[in-house]
Every structure is written in structure tokens, then in C-alpha cells.
Amino acid sequence: MVLTVDIGNSNIVVGEWEDEKLKFVSRIETDKTMTEDSYTVRLKNILELYGVQYEKIEGSIVSSVVPQVTGSVVNALERLIGKKPLIVGPGIKTGLNIRIDDPAELGSDLCADAVGALAKYPKPIIIFDMGTATTISVIDAKGCLLGGAIIPGVRTSLDALSQNASLLPHIGLEAPRDLIGRNTIDCMKSGAVFGTAALIDGMAQRIEERLGQKATIVATGGNSSYIIPYCKSKIIYDANLLLEGLINIYRKNVTK
């Protein structure tokens, strides 16, 4: 049994793997003010909720894009299971051929996404990870991670719009009744959902033109399920891609 933990800007996602099967996925809010003790209690509650037996946990692996939280979560895991977690970062084996200017700059979340995608999808691959930011990772036909793009996430953009435009309300993320909105809220929803879908389609098309061939397009991240149904491109929605990448990285670094 292995725990995979992804620390994102908005949420910490915990997954438990047993016999190469993902048994559960749980989320808690990322909070930079929480102490190690607080994270220990929150993680303990999750494990007990799903009936996890600590003695059966062989190890854990963590990816994080929030350095202020990483230490607290890592120490909490070690306290709970008695073993130091692996941390995705420099020196860990991933099997990736990274072609960006400085491979050390590659976020651990993007690294895990790429490892997960390479394990299950035909190359080349375009990965959209839609969270606080929408990140794009491009893997060529040889399996090399070429780089990508970073775009403000759809909820981040919506929140910024509401905060900076006095007459615009805070709204939920769902599609309006019609592409052409007839009131302020529907106009905002149209821009957020259909506008983001058009962005995804447009970037995918431009990247395929840059690669000179069609690619497998994969979407993951907390906001993907709201947007991908409205894209015109053929896109595979893979909710647990990052966790699958983490378990693959764990297996590359730990031998039974």
C-alpha cells in the first residue's frame, strides 16, 4: 500500500494505491497557516475515514508546488506511517527526457503529469492541467518533454475579474444556457466556460501545428471537468493522471 500526495495551490490531493489500483482519492484545502500538528490530524482523519491500516503502508511520495506547506505535510506523513516520504524533485528518478532550458525549474506536478501520460497514452502528447493555473506540457513523438505554457486558471481569472470590476459579481463555474449571454452572469459564465474551451482548442491546434502532427490531448486538474465537455478538440479527461504519475515515480525509485 502506497500513499501519493499532491500539494497544489488550492488543494492537497491524497490517493491510496493497493496492488496498482487506486483505492480512494481525498482532498483537503491547502492552508499555509496550518501547523505540522494540524496537517497530521487532517491526514490521520482521512486515513481513518477510509479504514487504512498504518502497518500496511509501505511508503509515500509527495509532489508540491507550495514550498511553505511541503515540510509540514512531509513531516506529518512521516509521523503517521513511520517512514520518510519520497519527494519529487532533483535527484529522483523519473525516466523523463526533459528538454527545457533548466530542468530543475520543472514543477513536480508537471513532472508527475508527464510520467503518468507517457505510461498510458500514444505520443506525442499535449497535457492540460487545469487548476489554480492552467499549465500545458508538450511531449514529442520521441517522448521528450519539450516545455509548454502557463495560463491563469479559469477560477483565478474569474475571481480577479470580480475583484477588480466593481459591478461584476462572484459566480460559480458552470456553462450558461446559451453561448450569447443575455445578462451579466450568463455573459461571465459564457466567457469563463466557452472562452476557456476555445483557448484550449486554439492552443492544442497551434501546438499540433508546431509539432507537425496530431497529438493525444489529455486534460486533468480540478477545473477540467467544467471545461472539456465544451471543447471541439478530441480530449481525454483523466482526473487522476498526476497520482498515476506519482505511483510510477515511486516504483522507479523503490524496489520491494
**Which residue ranges are tagged as binding site for substrate?**
107-110, 184
Annotated binding site for K(+): 129
Q: How far apart are CA 233 and CA 253, in angstroms?
A: 36
Binding residues: 6-13, 107-110, 129, 132, 184
Can you give the length of the chain in residues? 256
Q: What DSSP line would sit under 210-238, residue for residue?
A: HHTS--EEEEESTTHHHHGGG-SS--EE-
DSSP 8-state code for residue 84: P
- Comparing CA positions, the residue from 167, 170, 160, 153 lying closest to residue 226 is 153
Active site residue 238: no
Bridge-based pairing state of the strands 59-64 and 2-7: parallel
Query: Residue 248 burial (CB < 10 Å; 0-12/13-18/19+)?
Result: buried
Nearest 5°: the CA angle 154, 132, 141 is 90
Choosing from 109, 113, 140, 238, the catalytic residue is: 109
Residues assigned a catalytic role: 109
